[in-house]
Structure 1
Amino acid sequence: MSRARRIAAEAKGTYRTFVRRRTAVFFTFFFPVLLIVIFAGLVRTQSGSGGLFSEPTGYYVPAYLATVVLFTPLSRVGSTVARHREGNRFEKLATTPLTRAEWLAAQTLVNVALIAAASAVLLVALKLTGAEFALSPWLAFFVPVASVVFCGIGAVLGSIADGQDGAIAMSNGVALPLLFLSETFVQPELFPEWFLPVVDFSPLTYFARGVRAATYSGGDVVTNAAVIAVLAVVAFAVGAVLIPWTE
């Protein structure tokens, strides 16, 4: 069996496992939409008022997309790696031709497909609320590539966590700060000046900057795209190496 067929077979099994988990399907697709209903539909933004949500809704498109791009791969890949560790599944997979990089590639393919579908639902929901933003072709780059970044990070968390519950807790502990400290919902000018260099260490920052430049404000899309691409390669490689294929 070729590498492509091994990855495809593992991805098919991963997808079937996902669709059997109705709770996972619900929160993947409808939790981000719920956020839009609350913040874009009910709370509304008040341009020029200062503080949180003082920008037009289009400004927050990267933030809403980040809820899927960030939380879905961190929690799903992290918990899957931890569950495989607990069940000694990696030791069994190690006896097959499948490699750890191929296994992670299959997990990543499924997550990218799910995240792309959920992101499409999000964008439609945002348009229905009257948000003004461009449907830039760059979205087809940033969403999947950033998903790869966080699939790799999720694999790292699942490899070092103490069990599946620990992996989920670590994923949430990483995702929540990143979501609000990466130029998503909070404008840079609201951070203390000393904290601004810290924001640049978040991979989600470059996703938010790139998507916002492409869909709303204009600016340097290419540099942010390049950074995200490099981070995707590094995160995937580190995640694959740390997967405990044999223990």
Structure 2
Amino acid sequence: MTSQKAFLWGKRFQTKQFPLLIADSLTVFWGEWLKLRARITQVAATGLISPLIYILAFGLGLGSSIRPGSGITGNYDNYLEFILPGMVALSSMTISFGGTTFSICGERLFSKTFEEMLLAPINPLALHIGKMLAGILRGLMTSGSVILVALLFTGNWNFLNPLFLLLLVLNCAVFAGLGVIVGLSVRSLESVGLYNNFVIVPMSFLGATFFDPSTLPVALKCVVYLLPLTYASTGLRAAVYSPLSEFPWYSIPILLVVAIALSLWGSYKFSQQQD
């Protein structure tokens, strides 16, 4: 089995292998889609509750006491407009990570079907990409519901512009890739809770979803900009409300590099997996 999975770790990668890589990735993704399509409504609604609570509590509740110019820089009429792009980033992160992690954990720890996938003559990178694509789809389904809410509240169609959607896909790719790695690493569902409590929950509040990181002291700014969600939140916000001349273009390559790095790590994990 190890020799079959030496895709990047024992052989030199050749360009002619790309068609096979794409085909294998889509095969894995199709298997995930067949399981996912029966729960489309459930998946789309699952990650909508938390953003709606945040929108009601912070956007409409706390936001009524926050006026433009009180520490929030940008072209926003109210605090609700400010946090809506962050809610899209937050929902896509939560579902891309959680859905991917629990899907792999279910196959590994309960249904015991994961070994069959490992025995298949499929490149480990294709395994990772296929699982990651399913996580991206989960994240887009949920964040699509939040975007619909944002359109109803603001009527701003920039939530559907190509730059916004590109950043959204990259954010889903990053956290779906992280979800694959965590799903391959944990030994119980309790361990998933630890990752969620110590990684995802802190990032939810520190990833520039509720505040403008440019207003922070230098020390805190350094911490906040270590988080990939920060680049997604600030980029999505700029894509909706700022002109292209003020868009943080660096956010795209940073998220892309993180997604690629996680893909390489995930493919290595698949190549070494012994389940």
Moved more, 189-198 or 144-153: 189-198
Matched, 1:61 2:84: yes
Is the CA contact (8 Å cut-off) linking 2:231 and 2:255 kept in structure 1? yes
CA distance in 1, matches of 2:147, 2:30: 27
Is the CA contact (8 Å cut-off) linking 1:156 and 1:242 kept in structure 2? yes
Instruction: Give how far 1:147 is off.
Output: 0.8
Counterpart amino acid of 1:149? Answer: V
CA distance in 1, matches of 2:184, 2:167: 26
Counterpart amino acid of 1:217? Answer: S
Percent identical residues? 18
Counterpart amino acid of 2:175? Answer: F
Return closer, same or farther for 1:77/1:113 CA change in 2, 3 Å cut-off. closer
Partner SS, residue 221 of structure 1: coil
Partner SS, residue 138 of structure 1: helix
The residue that corresponds to 2:46 in the other structure is 27
Aligned positions of 1:77-156 closer than 5 A? 77-87=100-110, 88-130=112-154, 134-135=158-159, 136-156=161-181
1:110-148 residue CA offsets vs partner (Å, 9 max, x unmatched):
222232233232222112123657333201210111111
The residue that corresponds to 2:259 in the other structure is 232
Return closer, same or farther for 1:15/1:98 CA change in 2, 3 Å cut-off. same
Aligned positions of 1:186-197 closer than 5 A? 186-188=211-213, 191-197=216-222
Matched, 1:73 2:92: no
Instruction: Give how far 1:23 is off.
Output: 5.1
CA distance in 1, matches of 2:235, 2:215: 20
CA distance in 2, matches of 1:33, 1:8: 33
Give TM-score, length-normalised by structure 2: 0.76
The residue that corresponds to 2:35 in the other structure is 17
Is the CA contact (8 Å cut-off) linking 1:11 and 1:107 kept in structure 2? yes
1:138-188 residue CA offsets vs partner (Å, 9 max, x unmatched):
012101111111111112222332312312441343111111112111232
Partner SS, residue 185 of structure 1: coil
Return closer, same or farther for 1:133/1:191 CA change in 2, 3 Å cut-off. farther
CA distance in 2, matches of 1:107, 1:3: 13
CA distance in 1, matches of 2:129, 2:33: 13
Equivalenced residue count is 247
The residue that corresponds to 2:273 in the other structure is 245
Counterpart amino acid of 1:93? Answer: M
Q: Among 8, 30, 36, which residue is 2:55 paired with?
A: 36
1:42-80 residue CA offsets vs partner (Å, 9 max, x unmatched):
55443248479x953222233111222211121122222
The alignment yields a C-alpha RMSD, in angstroms, of 3.1
1:165-212 residue CA offsets vs partner (Å, 9 max, x unmatched):
312441343111111112111232664542211111101111112112
Moved more, 19-28 or 104-113: 19-28
Return closer, same or farther for 1:189/1:96 CA change in 2, 3 Å cut-off. closer
Is the CA contact (8 Å cut-off) linking 2:86 and 2:237 kept in structure 1? no
Instruction: Give how far 1:17 is off.
Output: 2.5
Q: Among 47, 60, 70, which residue is 2:67 paired with?
A: 47
Counterpart amino acid of 2:131? Answer: Q
The residue that corresponds to 1:200 in the other structure is 225
CA distance in 1, matches of 2:142, 2:170: 15
CA distance in 1, matches of 2:60, 2:151: 11
CA distance in 2, matches of 1:160, 1:96: 20
Counterpart amino acid of 1:11? Answer: F
Partner SS, residue 58 of structure 1: helix
Q: Among 188, 195, 207, which residue is 1:170 paired with?
A: 195
CA distance in 2, matches of 1:221, 1:49: 21
Is the CA contact (8 Å cut-off) linking 2:44 and 2:141 kept in structure 1? no
